[in-house]
Structure 1
Amino acid sequence: MTHTTPSIDQTLSEPRSQSPVGILLDIDEAATALRISRSRLFQLVGSGELQSVKLGRRRLFRRSDLEAFASGLATTPIANRSRGSVSGTRR
């Protein structure tokens, strides 16, 4: 059996069991859509990497902002990432 991971567009368009996903997503919906923790979501907001809106006391995320953030991640080449030093030999 082959298991495929849904894309951000599929995740955002699929309804949750309790309520459908709308234009504005709450914290849990946004974290689930991006497949990250709530803590990481707040770090991204705090650093300015991810935009959010406040509506009353609630912090909400525009679907378009999540898609823009995810699209920006997809354009980062893997070869340019710093992976640290990995050595296969012992001295």
Structure 2
Amino acid sequence: MAMNDETTHSSEPLLMDLDQAAAFLGIPASTLHTWAWQGRVPCVRLGRRRFFRRKDLERWVDNHLQPVRNRRA
């Protein structure tokens, strides 16, 4: 039975823990922990632990990008 792209399993984990997600975003884990606790970044809970889905983080980053304005002297 052939599998299409929708059913092919990737080597990437479905969920990332706090440290993995912080590394993915390039921010300190403490910052991500605070943002997750404040509800500023999407996460899911399993028991007492918070996890992050890569697709949710990618979408969140895309929605929160701000252009940088160059200042010329």
CA distance in 2, matches of 1:72, 1:41: 17
Q: Give the Cα separation in 2 of the matches to 1:21 and 1:32.
A: 14
Deviation at 1:66, TM superposition (A): 0.8
* The structure with more radius of gyration: 1
Structure 2 unmatched runs, 5+: 1-10
- Structure 1 moving runs of 4+ over 3 Å: none
Query: 1:35-69 CA deviation, whole Å, 9 max, x = no partner?
Result: 10111102221332201111012210111111112
RMSD value over aligned CA atoms? 1.9
**What is the rounded CA distance, in whole Å, between the counterparts of 1:57 and 1:65 in structure 2?**
20
Identity of aligned residues (%): 38
Partners of 2:23 and 2:12 lie apart in 1 by 11
**Helix, strand or coil: the match of 2:52?**
strand
Aligned positions, number: 60
